[in-house]
Structure 1
Amino acid sequence: MPTVPIFMPQLGESIAEATVVRIGIAPGDTVQTDQEVIEVETSKATMGVTTLCRGTVKEIHAKEGETYSVGTLLGLLDVTEEEIVRTGVDTVEAAADRRTAAAASPQEQEKNLHFALDDDSYEESSPEVVPSVKGLPVPAGVMGAHYISPRMRARMNEMGLREADISAVAGTGAGGRVMVEDLEKFLDYIDTWPSSNASPMRMAVADAMRRSWTRPLATVGLPVKLDRVLEHRRNQDPKPGLTLYVLRAFALALVEEPATAGFLIGQKVVHPRAFDIGVAVQVDDGVVVPVLRKVDQKSLSDLTKDYAEMVERGRRRRLSEDDLRGGIATVTNFGTFGLTSGTPIPLPNETLILGLGAGVKKPVWSSQVEAFVPMTEAELVLTFDHRVVDGGGAGVLLSRVAQLLQEPEKL
């Protein structure tokens, strides 16, 4: 009698595994098409694994409480030949043959040969869609271009290349895999293009951004009125920059919500032991982020002196390792370049980065004079590690920073 597999299905675009919480069948049980037989739990929800056809449970490989990756064999069904014909499902042998053929067949690989620079004859194929999750057809898992073979990785190591460096290369291997031949062809193609050697500073920034982008980052924004800050600043000597007002408000808001500045290590969220915050400083061919210590405990006057010294040493490349490490978050004022909005990226060891856009005069309705009055408004944006902070928490933190900026005399 033919045997049909029960696989762990693809339960969502970003979900690679699920934990079995309940098994509702036993060997010898008769099941119907689209019957929920195993209940699994992901980080998002509890879902049901369903059968693709009628049959009798032959074996159960899954265990309650165990976690399995997508595509893992959870059990087997004995089915009739008539049921195979009726539903068109693959038997265990057919499913294995299909995967082997897709991975190893020269004919199938030849169909996928293409190079995206000039060739427009490539026809993209879609994976077969089968109803793996109750009520939701989902695509069967396929090996994509994200896989790098040992031979390809060895060649990349010889050239000093990272995965992000080959993102522009179109692959000709199975499932779009980038082959060594693809890389060599691409490098030959761009060999005559103008180029220059990246500076050590640019390489350091590139490495930090690559590591940062391995996390799920999100950005929220909020307009903030700066008129009170600007008025307060006019009466100060020395005059703090707008960056320092934002820095101080950010630190005080984090004191109230320290968990938002934690960072995830394994299964622990490590919370800040001090509110040391970095400030992004533009230098030749890159950015440095000197860290100002205990921002929550210092006055604007003290921060102004510390900041001026740090910026001066940063632009002369005279910052020490201690000056650059230990920050729990960063503030960046991209408004100095006339930019009104942006999506800054936090450093790899930090969860948050707060950005300030350029101030713009806008008409705002005043209920006191019953007329529109000109006010200076700027965009505050907060980029955060979504593993640690959710959108609601980021919104609360950003709103609190904006509120504190309306009372600059208390900063």
Structure 2
Amino acid sequence: MPKVPILMPQLGDSIAEATVLRLLAAPGDSVEADQEIFEVETNKATMGVTTMCGGILSDMFIKEGDSVVVGACMAMIEATDEEIERSGATPAGEDNQPSLPASPESVPHSSPAAPAAEDKPAGVHFGVTGDSYQEHGADLKVQPSVRGLPVPAGMKGAHYMSPRMKARMDELGMRASDIAFISGSGSGGRVTIDDLEEFLEYVSQWPRRKASSMRLAVADAMRRSWTRPLASAGRPVFMDPLIKHRQHSPHRPGITLYFARALALALAENPECAGYLVGENILSPRAIDIGIAVQVADGVMVPVLRRVNERTMEELLEDYNRLIAQARRRRLAPEDSTGGIATVTNFGGFGLTFAAPMPMPSESIILGVGAVTKTPVWSDEVEAFIPISKANIVATGDHRVVDGADIGRVLKRVAELLQRPEYL
């Protein structure tokens, strides 16, 4: 019988590879069309890879933990001619031979990958390239493209690197921020090759764990976001009207949804605060789509609500609940996690009263919501202190586009809107 390949699909515009989490079928199993065969993790979400047609799973070319590039053949299905014709699948043939996942011989020397800690030869710490892999017999496969050990940046020494030092960093798949706490012994505080090798030897026996694809994606996004000058400002907001409205609502919408709706209306009135600086132009967004930060294991997912300024809370509620549930299961579709112009993050859920969140690289502003606390406030009306529910809200923006006054106007408008939640 002819064989039909199961290829790694393109799971998003910026997705080049995915890591296999689970094999949901084994060679010899009978499978149906559109059945999930693999569960894979990209740098954005966990998704399933399905079959195009039914048949017998005959060949398996990957295993759990492998990172597979888009378009690579993961498995083969033996299918009848009738099933192939019915499903429209394309069988593998002499003129249509799919590529298998990368082998050691096919990995280019310019794409270093880090071997497991127990397989590393002495003196090699964060990855080697080319012949070094062949010499030590490391198990090569396509690795996640985001690399580097996230450590705090700060000391000037890491910014002084010779061409030889940069070449060594490239060979190891490291970034300047990965060695920012090294005090350079070279002229002007420059970090030398000897400093780097001494550092690598120093940390070679430290406990370590492999960072997940999501953790590496978060690290990469925050590095790119931090290349911009960012500014934060905050203020308190009275929460009693919102809490009362939520208690009397039959659907009890999440507090974060109130803030997303208020932020969208505030940005619609001040669109320059959500603009993008491109060259000498500031581009205004075509729609007010707001992301909602959701904490998941080892990272954050940000589902995006569409046209939040144009839809009421009731109209948004179904999409909001669906997207939050999918994000918590790490099952967001690519179209549900891209295109936001701003994000709301409720760090108050962790008991934090203040934080300075960072916007995504593709966004100019993020709004953080702190924990609700009771505060005594003097009332001239009753001539006594009365308890008031308050929360701190903090906005961080791209300082190239927004100034403190801009952030202040947005926060002021958000606070005003939340005093009359029935109109949201």
Q: The TM-score by the shorter chain falls in which range? A: 0.5 to 0.7
| 2:410 is aligned with 1:385 | no
Is structure 2 residue 293 aligned with structure 1 residue 252? no
**Equivalent residue number for residue 195 of structure 1:** 208
Q: Report the secondary structure of 2:414's partner residue.
A: helix
Match of residue 170, structure 1, among 168, 178, 183: 183
Q: What SS is found at the alignment partner of 2:285?
A: coil
Instruction: Give, in angstroms, the shift of residue 209 of structure 1.
Output: 0.3
Residue by residue, what CA displacement relative to the aligned partner does 1:273-306 show, whole Å, maximum 9, x if unpaired? 1000101000100001111000011111222211
Query: 1:239 aligned to 2:259?
Result: no
AA paired with 2:306? R
Which residue type is aligned with residue 267 of structure 1? Answer: E
Deviations 1:242-289 (A, max 9, x none): 101111000001111000100111111111110001010001000011
- Large movers: runs of 4+ above 4 Å: none
Cα distance in 2 for residues equivalent to 1:356 and 1:317: 23
May I ask how many residue pairs the two structures share in their alignment?
269
Q: Distance in 2 between matches of 1:374 and 1:144?
A: 52
Instruction: Report matched runs for 1:223-238 at 5 Å.
Output: 223-238=236-251
Residue aligned with 1:272, SS:
coil
Contact 2:158-2:181 at 8 Å conserved across structures: no
Whichever of the two has the greater Rg, that structure is 1
Q: TM-score, normalised by structure 2?
A: 0.62
Structure 1 segments unaligned to the other structure (5+ residues): 1-142
Q: What TM-score results when the alignment is normalised by the length of structure 1?
A: 0.64
Equivalent residue letter for 1:172: S
Change (3 A) 1:145 1:200: closer
Tell me the secondary structure at the aligned position of residue 321 of structure 2.
Answer: helix
Q: Deviations over 1:17-46 (max 9, x none)?
A: xxxxxxxxxxxxxxxxxxxxxxxxxxxxxx
* Contact in 2 for aligned 1:279/1:290 (Cα 8 Å): yes
Which residue type is aligned with residue 271 of structure 2?
Answer: P
Select 1:321's aligned residue among 334, 344, 349.
334
1:357 to 370, 373, 379: 370
Identity score, percent: 57
Q: Which amino acid aligns with 2:159?
A: H
The Cα RMSD (Å) is: 1.2
1:26-175 equivalences under 5 Å are 145-175=158-188
- 3-state SS, counterpart of residue 405 of structure 2: helix
In the alignment, does 2:330 pair up with 1:290?
no
Listed one character per residue, the Cα deviations across residues 123-154 of structure 1 (whole Å, up to 9, x for unaligned) are xxxxxxxxxxxxxxxxxxxx964132221122
Please state if 1:334 is matched with 2:347.
yes
AA aligned to 2:181 is: A
* Inter-partner Cα distance in structure 2 for 1:340 and 1:352: 19
Q: Which secondary structure does the structure 2 equivalent of 1:251 belong to?
A: helix
Is the CA contact (8 Å cut-off) linking 2:276 and 2:282 kept in structure 1?
Answer: yes
Counterpart CA distance in 2 for 1:154 and 1:256 is: 49
Asked if structure 2 preserves the Cα contact closer than 8 Å seen for 1:245 and 1:408, the reply is: yes
**Residue segments in structure 2 that go unaligned for 5+ positions in a row:** 1-155
Q: 2: distance between equivalents of 1:184 and 1:302?
A: 58
Tell whether the 8 Å contact from 1:145 to 1:175 is kept in structure 2 after alignment: no
In structure 1, how many angstroms separate the alpha carbons of the residues matched to 2:378 and 2:255?
24
1:396 to partner: Cα distance? 1.1
Any idea what the Cα deviations from partners look like across 1:293-322, whole Å, max 9, x if unmatched? 000111112222111111111122211221
From 271, 276, 281, the counterpart of 1:268: 281
Q: How many Å separate the matches in 2 of 1:247 and 1:176?
A: 46
1:343 maps to what in 2?
A: 356
Show CA shifts across 1:374-396 (max 9, x none). 01100000001111011111111
Partner of 2:319: 306
Counterpart of 1:182 in structure 2 is: 195
- Cα deviation per residue 1:303-346 (whole Å; 9 max; x = unaligned)? 22111111111122211221111110000000001110001000
Local SS of the residue matching 1:297 = coil
State how far apart, in whole Å, the 1-side matches of 2:347 and 2:243 are: 17
The Cα offsets for residues 73-131 of structure 1, whole Å up to 9 and x where unpaired, read as: xxxxxxxxxxxxxxxxxxxxxxxxxxxxxxxxxxxxxxxxxxxxxxxxxxxxxxxxxxx
Say whether the 8 Å CA contact 2:157–2:184 is kept in structure 1. Answer: no
CA distance, structure 2, for counterparts of residue 403 and residue 186 of structure 1:
53
CA contact (8 A) 2:158 2:179 kept: no
Which amino acid is 2:177 matched to?
Answer: A
Query: 1:348 deviation in Å?
Result: 0.5
Q: Deviations over 1:142-175 (max 9, x none)?
A: x964132221122111211111111121211211
Alpha-carbon distance between aligned partners in 2 of 1:164 and 1:323, rounded to the nearest angstrom: 31
- SS of the counterpart of 1:172? coil
SS at match of 2:216: helix
CA distance in 1, matches of 2:173, 2:331: 28
Question: Structure 2: how far apart are the matches of 1:409 and 1:301?
Answer: 11
User: In the aligned structure 2, how far is the partner of 1:278 from the partner of 1:291?
Assistant: 4
Deviations 1:4-27 (A, max 9, x none): xxxxxxxxxxxxxxxxxxxxxxxx
